[in-house]
Structure formats: C-alpha cells, structure tokens
Amino acid sequence: MKYRRMGRWMYPVDERVLEYLSEEAWGSPQTMASHYQFQQLDVDSGYIEQRCEQLVERELIEPIVEGCDMYEITRWGLAYLRGDLDAGHLPRYPV
C-alpha cells in the first residue's frame, strides 16, 4: 500500500482540501468551511483560502475560472492522494 508523502510546507487542512475536491466536482473556501471535516479542524474560510493559494502555487488544485475562488483538483493533486507523488519535491509557481 502506498502512503502519502506530505511536503514540509503542508498542513493537515491541505489534505482535507485535496480529499474534498477529489470527492466533489469543485469547492470554494466557504463551502469547504461549512463541511464537517473542516469544522473538526476548527478552520475558517479565510484560512482555507490561504491554504488553497499554497496548493495552487504547487499545482495540486486550480481555480475553475481565473481569479475565482472556486477550485478543482488537478492530476497532480490526485497523484498525491494515491501516494504517487512526493509533495516535498514540488516546485512553487507564484500565481
């Protein structure tokens, strides 16, 4: 069984964002913040938005429309969830 390799830059909420987006067609920080998985982590939409920006910079998720706060998971994000990608080796692309 493969396991996920988090980067040192990652936080537990990052995995929740990726899991949420792998199960839903899309998500915004506001819709994620109202989901029980995020409520258990005690995070608000502002913090989720900050983490989404980090995930976008590493191409694990992307905005559905440029400049929008609705996101979908990328093939790299799915590869990470499967354990096929080491997030510690991802370059950072400023958005």
User: Pick from 19, 59, 38, 9: which is nearest to 29 by CA?
Assistant: 38
What is the rounded CA–CA span in Å between residue 87 and residue 5? 6
Q: What is the pTM of this model?
A: 0.92
pLDDT in tens, the chain (95 residues): 688 899 889 999 999 999 999 999 899 999 999 999 899 999 999 999 999 999 999 999 999 998 889 999 999 999 999 999 999 888 877 66
User: Pick from 59, 53, 64: which is nearest to 77 by CA?
Assistant: 59
Range of the domain at 80: 12-85
What is the rounded CA–CA span in Å between residue 56 and residue 41? 21
Whether residue 81 lies inside any domain: the answer is yes
CATH number for the domain spanning 45: value is 1.10.10.10
Tokens matching residue 82? 């499967």
What is the rounded CA–CA span in Å between residue 19 and residue 10? 14
Distance of alpha carbon 64 from the chain centroid: 13
Whether residue 52 lies inside any domain: the answer is yes
What is the rounded CA–CA span in Å between residue 61 and residue 75? 9
Question: What confidence score (pLDDT) does residue 90 get?
Answer: 86
Whether residue 2 lies inside any domain: the answer is no
